[in-house]
Structures are given as structure tokens and as C-alpha cells.
Amino acid sequence: MIPVTAAQMRAAVCGVLHGDPERAVSELSTDSRSIAPGAWFVPLTGERFDGHDYIDMALEKGAAGCFCARLPERLRPDRTYIQVEDTRRALRDLAGWYRGRFDLPIVQITGSMGKTTLKELLAEVLSQRYRTLKTPGNLNGDIGAPLTLLSLESTHQAAVIETGMDEFGQIRALGQAIRPDIAIITNISDVHLSHFGSREDILRAKAEIFENLRPGGLAVLSGDDPLLATLHLDCETAWCRFGSSPCAAYVEQMEYQGMEGLRCTIVTEKDRYPLYIPSPAAHMASLAAMAVVAAERLGLTREEIIRGVAAYTPADNRLRLERLPGGRLMINDSYNANPKSVRADLRILARHTGGKRIAMLGDMTELGTAEEEGHRSVGRLTGELGIEVLLAVGPRSQRWMVPEAEGAGCPDVRWFSSRDEARDALLTLFGPGDAVLLKASHFLNRFDLAADYLREYSF
């Protein structure tokens, strides 16, 4: 972060300043436990916590000052305070003001699935020419996205910002700070139906991303998504599709390269791009088409785009193929899960040859009215694909996934109440040459811990 003064921050957030207006700040933190000396503390509030209770701790550890919706009873004369109505909004407002100091292209990404993957892919492509800032990990909410903007430096030449949401207005508010030159929606799916009444509501919430496109900006959309196809936008729009049809980009000649990757050709109005994508997932071709369109818009050459796609590396616990001793294969997509992504991963697992195929799957959350059919569809497909073993975890899986898998002919279906019970059973089944898929909703199951265990296990 380029240093800013307390006076500048006060003006950006329309707050009331208490203390030294010339105090310089070059880092912000929302965590009083690990705050660095000289950083600015942003106390956040939630249902079960209030960061204002930790202001004194943060200042004692060396924080230069803080935002606060309620002033502490005692103000330290050696620290600076900016009183605001809402500290979360102040963080976003500051990020929006700070973004205005930079004249560089920013791509904002949202969607039900594939946000982080596309962010990683596009950032790798853009980095072939530009020094590119990207959202770290999946910090895509109303805290992570502003903090990412506030990490812009004078050396950055482009940025790729991922934005998620769980309520109306969230994408709009983040867009007001980001003000993207390119806005992308990857798809609309049943994810977050527990927060919204329908997929149409999810579409409306995601479409807020286009409200803050800068003049001359570009909207990039999947033309294969039936709901996205209903949008009628006033801005310039690029549609990306599988199969040749009139659109900005389409995918043709897709071929799998074993379990490690795939080759395809992306055709645009300007050129043809023969790509190698180091991922076994078919949907990567669609994401690559979106990345190509965005990269073309930002002036990258054919060679830079091809090289950048080939250099893509998946984020942690997101469809990573990991080789283990004895020729074992772990398909680690444990970060999160929804029915569509689990079914896609099962099709990848089904392509494995040379040993048993084991699906260790956990409950999927936030599906709302799609919860029952979502779990049933996964169970059915497990049997239909001939997956030899299903290790299912959680009450939803027991109720809906397990009976469907058994009915569809999966020969070995086992249910467990916990991740560790399933992991222990896996160890007795996971022989040389076998493949296992780890997939479940993250916060409920933490299958990434099972992946860590398998990496360290002495087979």
C-alpha cells in the first residue's frame, strides 16, 4: 500500500478525526492478534463478536490508529482515531478512494463456480506482460476484496479481483470500489440458494457487477449458461461458448491429455489459440475462452496468451492432481462443493485407469430447495459411472446420496459420520495405482485436512 495520511483517510470515509492528521499509514489489518506495528486497525463487528473490544490490544501492539464506530472511553494521545458510522463500509470506501489513485485496468470476476480458478488463470495470463495484482486465495468478500485493492502498489500494471456474495447489494457495493474495466460472470448455479429464493435471484445479484463498469468497459459472459443468456446489457458484451456459433469466443477441438490436462482451440474474432491447459476438467476450456477474450482486450499477444494459459497452476485444494507413493493419485478438490462441481469431478475420476476409483464425498451446504436432488444426483452418477467405492460423510449424504448410489449399482458404498472415520477407512482401501477424489463443502467437512494427512502418510 502506498502510504496515506490520516487526513486523507478521514476525507475518504467521511469520518471524524481524533489525533494527528499527518500520521502516515501503509498497511491495514482487521486482526488485532497479528497486527504489525504501524498498521491501521479496522475493528469489524459480527453476530458473535465486536472488534471494538480489541482496539486497546491492537494499539498496545503498535497499531498507529483505527477506525471506530464507537470511540473508546480513553483516547491515547500517541494514537489516531477516525470515527465512522460503520467500519466495514469505511474499509470499502477507503478502498474505493485508493483505487482512484491508479490508472490501470482491473478485471472483476464473480459467478456461482469457477471464480477463483478463472482469477488464477487470467492473472497468470496477464502476468506475461503486466505486473498483475490478484485476490489472494479466495478472499473475495466485503473484507477481502477491499483489502486486495488496498494492496495496490505503484509498480502494478493490472489487477484481477474476485468478488463473492451472499446477499443482494454486495456485488454492487464492491463494484463501486473496484470500478472494473472488464466484468465477468462465470455461470449461475444452485450455490447460495439458501440465501436467495431462486436461481433468478442469484442472477440478479450477480448482474450487479455490470453497474459499475467504467466507460468503454466490457462484459464477459458464458453463452452456455441459460440464465446468463437472458441478460440484456447496455454495455459492450462478449459471449463465450462451447462449439462454434456466433459469439466473441468459442471452444473447439478439445482433447484430454491423460489425467493431467487438456488441449483445445479457442477461436475469437481476431485469432485462433491452440492451448494446453494443465487441468483435467472440461469446464477449464470455457474459463480459458473468457480469459482469452479479457487478455485480447488488454492488448496481450497470441504468444503471451498461449504461454500464460500453459503456466496456470490451480489454487490450493482446487482440483489439484497429486501423485502419492505407489502410483496412487489424489484428486484434491476439497475446498468446496456443489452438485454441478461434484458431478464434474466424478467424471474426471471415472477416467482413471490402472486401479480402483474411490470417491470420498461429504455433505454439500447452502443449496436451499436444491439440497435433496443435489445429493441424489451425485449418488446416482457415482453408480452410473462405475465408481468402485463411495465413502460418504454427513447426514445429508446418508439420507440422499447413499441410497441413490446403491440403487445405481455402486458396488461398495459406505457411510460415516465424520471425516476422520472415512479417512481411516480410505487408508485400508487406497492401494497402489488407485485414485481418490476428495470433495465436500469446506467449512462443514474440512476435507483439506484429510488431504494433508494423505500427503504425510507412509504408504
Q: Are residue 270 and residue 383 in the same domain, yes or no?
A: no
pLDDT at residue 336, rounded to an integer: 87
Q: Are residue 242 and residue 304 in the same domain, yes or no?
A: yes
Q: Are residue 197 and residue 304 in the same domain, yes or no?
A: yes
**Cα gap 135→139, rounded to integer Å:** 6
C-alpha torsion angle, residues 282, 284, 289, 290 (rounded to 10)? 140
pLDDT at residue 323, rounded to an integer: 95
- Domain-embedded: residue 329: yes
Q: Are residue 21 and residue 69 in the same domain, yes or no?
A: yes
Amino acid of residue 394: G
Q: How far is CA 238 from CA 210, 220, 352, in A?
A: 13, 5, 36
Q: Are residue 211 and residue 248 in the same domain, yes or no?
A: yes
Among 267, 287, 310, where does a domain finish? 310
Q: Are residue 18 and residue 78 in the same domain, yes or no?
A: yes
Q: Are residue 306 and residue 325 in the same domain, yes or no?
A: no
- Domain-embedded: residue 350: yes
Query: Which grid coordinates are listed for 120?
Result: 488464477
Q: Are residue 121 and residue 226 in the same domain, yes or no?
A: yes
- Domain-embedded: residue 404: yes
- Domain-embedded: residue 96: no
pLDDT at residue 291, rounded to an integer: 98
Give the domain CATH number at 169: 3.40.1190.10
Q: Are residue 52 and residue 180 in the same domain, yes or no?
A: no
Tens of pLDDT, residues 266-296: 999 999 999 999 999 999 999 999 999 999 9
Residues of the chain predicted below pLDDT 50 = none
pLDDT at residue 166, rounded to an integer: 87
SS (H, E, C) the chain: CCCEEHHHHHHHHCCEEECCCCCEECCEECCCCCCCCCCEECCCECCCCEHHHHHHHHHHCCCCEEEECCCCCCCCCCCEEEECCCHHHHHHHHHHHHHCCCCCCEEEEECCCCHHHHHHHHHHHHCCCCCEEECCCCCCCCCHHHHHHCCCCCCCCEEEEECCCCCCCHHHHHHHHHCCCEEEECCCCCCCCCCCCCHHHHHHHHHHHHHHCCCCCEEEEECCCCCHHHCCCCCEEEEEEECCCCCCEEEEEEEEECCCEEEEEEEECCCEEEEEECCCCCHHHHHHHHHHHHHHHCCCCHHHHHHHHHCCCCCCCCCEEEEEHHHEEEEECCCCCCHHHHHHHHHHHHCCCCCCEEEEEECCCCCHHHHHHHHHHHHHHHHHCCCCEEEEECHHHHHHHHHHHHHCCCCEEEEECCHHHHHHHHHHHCCCCCEEEEECCHHHHCHHHHHHHHHHCCC
Which structural domain range is residue 32 located in? 4-86
Give the domain CATH number at 38: 3.40.1390.10
Q: Are residue 41 and residue 118 in the same domain, yes or no?
A: no
CB 81 within 8 A of CB 18: yes
- Domain-embedded: residue 197: yes
Tens of pLDDT, residues 160-186: 999 999 899 999 999 999 999 999 999
**Cα gap 172→184, rounded to integer Å:** 14
- Domain-embedded: residue 45: yes
Largest pairwise CA distance in the chain = 72
pLDDT at residue 146, rounded to an integer: 97
Among 86, 118, 152, where does a domain finish? 86
pLDDT at residue 191, rounded to an integer: 74
pLDDT at residue 192, rounded to an integer: 67
Q: Are residue 129 and residue 225 in the same domain, yes or no?
A: yes
Query: Which grid coordinates are listed for 455?
Result: 500427503
Q: Are residue 365 and residue 262 in the same domain, yes or no?
A: no
- Domain-embedded: residue 91: no
Nearest to 362 by CA among 239, 446, 253, 458: 446
Q: How many domains does the chain have?
A: 3
Among 86, 120, 155, where does a domain finish? 86
CA 267 to chain centre: 26
CB 404 within 8 A of CB 302: no
pLDDT at residue 376, rounded to an integer: 97
Give the domain CATH number at 364: 3.90.190.20
pLDDT at residue 425, rounded to an integer: 96
Verdict on whether the full-model pTM lies above 0.85: yes
24-25 and 40-41 as β-strands: parallel, antiparallel, unpaired? unpaired
Tens of pLDDT, residues 187-206: 998 776 777 878 899 999 99
- Domain-embedded: residue 315: no
